Amino acid sequence: MRHFWSFRNRLFVAFLAVSLVPLLICSTLLLQMFRLRLTDAAGTEALEHLNSVCRELDALSNGFARTADFLQGDALVAEALTLGSGETTQVYNQLFDATEGMRNYARFDLYDLEGRWHYSTYNLPVQRQLPTSWGVLQRAGRGKMTFTVCETVTDVNRPLLMGAVLLTDVSGSPFGYLVASVYQTNFRNLLEGKYGAQNDLILLSQYWRPAYCAEPALAASLAPVLRERLLAGEALDGTAGDFLYSVAHHESTGLYLVLQRPRVFTQDTMRLLYTISISSALVCVAVSVLMSLKLSRQMFRPIERLHSAIGEVVHNNLDVYVAPYQEDELGELARRFNGMVVALKRNQEELVENQRELNEAQIRMLQAQLNPHFLCNTLDTMKWISKINKVPQVALMSTNLADILRFCISPEEFVPLGREGEVLERYIEIQKIRLSGAFSFELDLPMELEDCLVPKMILQPIVENAILHGLDGVEEGMIRVEVRAEPEGLLRVRVTDNGRGLPPDMEGPYASRGRELSWGHLGLYNVDTILLKYYGTGFGLYLENRTDGPGAAVTAVLPIRREEEPEC
């Protein structure tokens, strides 16, 4: 399993996926988009066909309404239907004038109030008597135009749709009925070319029984299926087999319009498309496999050579060399590896040489540690000889100098601030003896700050600089060391004197000048460097002239650290 998921195999799978997956996804998406686009277009076209059929049925209904309006209140027609007498020719003229433009799409008949036929736009009536207690005349008798679906789709000699209107005279009294009958031939003339050459239109009654279809057998077989789907609560619009169905309802006639159209993609067509797509995908898979194998081998061979070379380097064989066979990134990687091996070999040789020099330096350092100890012992001897010979100044200087030397050679890098102050006091005593008390000194160190840890020997160089440079030529000099805790956990150490002050080019942060500009002030440079090395930027020395009198001030800022806290 581990070998199967090796880098080479994963590289091969990656190449295969990158080359094949987008192709398959794009092919599938294009096929689906094409199918959906054609399906949407077919749906839009079906909706246009249904709207066109609805407009023709609206034209039929509106024409029937205009015919009825034309005959409403006609005295001649009222007399002919009421009394059974009148000029027959004139009545027919009125009837034909009223049905002008509509006779190709319906047959119009006049019935009296008893349901007896009198006049027709055809030669002979289908029925000479219509019942007034039920059917189309009974609904028309309620005072509105009504249509009745006759559901005789297989009988071409009987009307498929009948509409009736109750006719009234000028006084509002009824005198007869106008009946319009639509036959299969009329529907064919009315709807031909309105729903597409490849489609079939089925007109169903409100009970979902067939009323009209160009192919009566199709209506007889499809109507029960649609009625079952309706009763089962299923959608009427949709797909069944190789056909798509769209349904619309025409309000005025009460007809349901079912448009059957062939699917854009039949099952056979879809199988053919899927077969072609799968065959194309298999061809692409084969091509992708071959290309991926070639690319993975081309990339893996240089990597394999690098892997073997790295194994040699792990075993400390630095004479290995990888030939860059390719002028590309992998060839550049091989050249970089060779350069790295050369540099590693050189660094290893330098490391051995540095280790030898370090050993020698450690030996010299151990030997040099004997000298300060010998010097301290000699100073102790001088102290006791000075006391014996009653020379207290020499004894005091020897004692203080010995303490300072022991403090300097101690291994601690950080010391309490109180201890730093004690060593500073020793140094001041030596300087007062040397300079015959030409200056005064004051150390202001609060007790709560005496345990703060600071780098060793940071106060003495600052004070020494003030004595040597600040108080040079000044009578009754004064040096003051003030230690204060600042907000945000900072410690401020300020050393002031009343000497001649600083030149303008020395004011500001001490870190802004280099070692070559610190000539004569090497102690300040060392202290500032120590603070920067331990605490980073933002800490160090700041030099300025005093504003409350003559002299200069040197301020050191560093974090507050206690003895129980870890050192920086």
The answer to whether residues 229 and 247 touch, using CB atoms and an 8 Å cutoff, is: no
465 or 43, higher pLDDT: 465
CATH topology of domain 1-180+270-316: Beta-Lactamase (3.30.450)
Kindly tell me if the per-residue pLDDT of 561 is higher than 50: yes
Q: What's the mean pLDDT in 134-144? A: 80
Q: Are strands 439-444 and 477-486 parallel, antiparallel or unpaired?
A: parallel
The answer to whether residues 499 and 550 touch, using CB atoms and an 8 Å cutoff, is: yes
370-388 and 329-368 helices cross at what angle (nearest 10)? 30
Kindly tell me if the per-residue pLDDT of 204 is higher than 80: yes
Measured between alpha carbons, how far is residue 72 from residues 139, 168, 393 in Å? 18, 6, 149
Query: H/E element holding 314?
Result: helix 267-314
The answer to whether residues 481 and 443 touch, using CB atoms and an 8 Å cutoff, is: yes
- pTM exceeds cut of 0.75: no
Domain 1-180+270-316 and domain 444-559 have a common topology? no
Using pLDDT thresholds of 50, 70 and 90, give the confidence band for residue 178: very high
Using pLDDT thresholds of 50, 70 and 90, give the confidence band for residue 413: confident
Q: Classify the C-alpha dihedral 349-352-355-357 as positive or negative.
A: negative
CATH architecture of 444-559: 2-Layer Sandwich (3.30)
Beta bridge partners of 413: none
pLDDT of res. 552: 92
pLDDT of res. 172: 86
Beta-sheet strands, E only, within 205-359: 210-213, 238-240, 243-249, 256-262
Kindly tell me if the per-residue pLDDT of 480 is higher than 90: yes
Q: Which of 45-49, 208-212, 236-240 has the lowest mean pLDDT?
A: 236-240
User: And the tokens for 561?
Assistant: 């650290």
**What's the pLDDT tens digit per position in 442-452?**
999 999 999 99
User: And the tokens for 44?
Assistant: 């839009």
392-409 and 417-434 helices cross at what angle (nearest 10)? 140
The answer to whether residues 400 and 427 touch, using CB atoms and an 8 Å cutoff, is: yes
pLDDT of res. 371: 46
The answer to whether residues 462 and 554 touch, using CB atoms and an 8 Å cutoff, is: yes
Only one residue has tokens 């060839």, namely 331
Measured between alpha carbons, how far is residue 251 from residues 182, 241, 346 in Å? 17, 29, 98
pLDDT of res. 146: 76
**What's the pLDDT tens digit per position in 242-254?**
678 888 888 888 8
pLDDT of res. 2: 46
User: And the tokens for 261?
Assistant: 């159209």
Measured CA to CA, the distance from residue 552 to residue 542 in angstroms comes to 11
pLDDT above 90: percentage of residues in the chain: 12
pLDDT of res. 555: 94
Domain boundaries, the chain: 1-180+270-316, 318-367, 444-559
Using pLDDT thresholds of 50, 70 and 90, give the confidence band for residue 479: very high
Cβ-proximal residues to 265 (8 Å cutoff; 6+ apart), any chain: 35, 38, 273
Measured CA to CA, the distance from residue 35 to residue 357 in angstroms comes to 82
Measured CA to CA, the distance from residue 259 to residue 52 in angstroms comes to 12
184-191 and 7-71 helices cross at what angle (nearest 10)? 120
**What's the pLDDT tens digit per position in 17-75?**
776 677 778 777 777 787 777 777 777 888 898 899 999 889 988 998 999 999 998 88
Q: Smallest Cα–Cα separation from 110: which of 164, 159, 74?
A: 164
The answer to whether residues 458 and 511 touch, using CB atoms and an 8 Å cutoff, is: no
**What's the pLDDT tens digit per position in 501-537?**
888 888 888 765 555 555 556 778 888 888 888 888 8
DSSP 471-492: STT-SSEEEEEEEEEEGGGEEE
**What's the pLDDT tens digit per position in 261-318?**
887 666 667 677 778 777 877 787 777 777 767 766 666 677 777 778 888 778 778 7
pLDDT of res. 439: 85
7-71 and 88-98 helices cross at what angle (nearest 10)? 150
DSSP code for 108: E
Query: H/E element holding 367?
Result: helix 329-368
**What's the pLDDT tens digit per position in 63-102?**
989 999 999 988 888 888 888 766 788 888 888 999 998 8
Beta bridge partners of 201: 259
Average pLDDT, the chain: 79
Q: What's the mean pLDDT in 136-159? A: 76
**What's the pLDDT tens digit per position in 342-361?**
888 888 888 888 887 776 65
Kindly tell me if the per-residue pLDDT of 493 is higher than 80: yes
Q: Which amino acid is at 347?
A: N
pLDDT of res. 495: 94
Cβ-proximal residues to 364 (8 Å cutoff; 6+ apart), any chain: none
In our burial notation (b when 16+ CB lie closer than 10 A, e otherwise), range 139-175 reads bbbeeebbbbbbbbbeeeebbbbbbbbbbebeeeebb
The answer to whether residues 78 and 95 touch, using CB atoms and an 8 Å cutoff, is: no
Using pLDDT thresholds of 50, 70 and 90, give the confidence band for residue 338: confident
